Amino acid sequence: MRPFIVAGNWKMNKTLEEGLTLVREVLARFERTPPNTTVVFAVPCPLLQAISEVLRERQGFYLAAQNCHHEEQGAYTGEVSAAMLVSVGAQYVILGHSERRQYFRETHEQLARKVTVALRHNLTPIFCCGEPLAVRERNHHLPYVARQLRASLFHLSETDLRRVVIAYEPVWAIGTGKTASSAQAQEMHAAIRQLVAKRYSSETAQAIPILYGGSCNAQNASQLFQQPDVDGGLIGGASLRADEFSAIICAARST
């Protein structure tokens, strides 16, 4: 059975004290995570170590960074390496988020290198893919996402690909209040799984969690999570409120 993952991406939000308060409020609502559910907090780098210490004794709750550099070390002022992230307690790392692609011009080649270096340091990549509105309106969304996956993930061995989490984020639904319908989400998730099966094997395709990320909230989470190829969510704004994020975690329990 694939793990069900609810990952909260805080983006550039929360001071240290605010972040600690939020994590503690979520933890207070759960003695443990729902069965077969993994909860991930993807927090800004300055908060990683302190939040790692809060999560250390809580089974089922994990810590993610929001990015890492594609080199091991060097003269890259302001950047953070995979080894640094591991040293402060991160177990996951988000790679290829649409905001990184758009604002920082991250390329397929860079992302492929980031995935490789993350796996080398035993970080689990949450690899993001997804199409902008113009591509969706031209009905080119399936080949667009397929190109992203082929270019940045399909250099991996089958064993290494099984260590990756894929997150589909329709760019037109991020922070806009729009959400892909459950049918649209299922269509893309099924297409991703079929693509992986064709390149690797059906066993590997069935083993990889594919998350939905695109204005997922407490009101629509349950319907999205009921889709057979949706294995959880990469949650943005709703992860910044303990009650909302907790409700999404509970929606995972009901699926």
CA gap 145, 107 in Å, rounded: 14
Q: Which of 215, 213, 228, 227 is nearest to 40 (CA)?
A: 213
Structure tokens at 8: 């909260």
Catalogue the active-site residues: 97, 169
CA gap 162, 160 in Å, rounded: 5
Structure tokens at 170: 């329709």
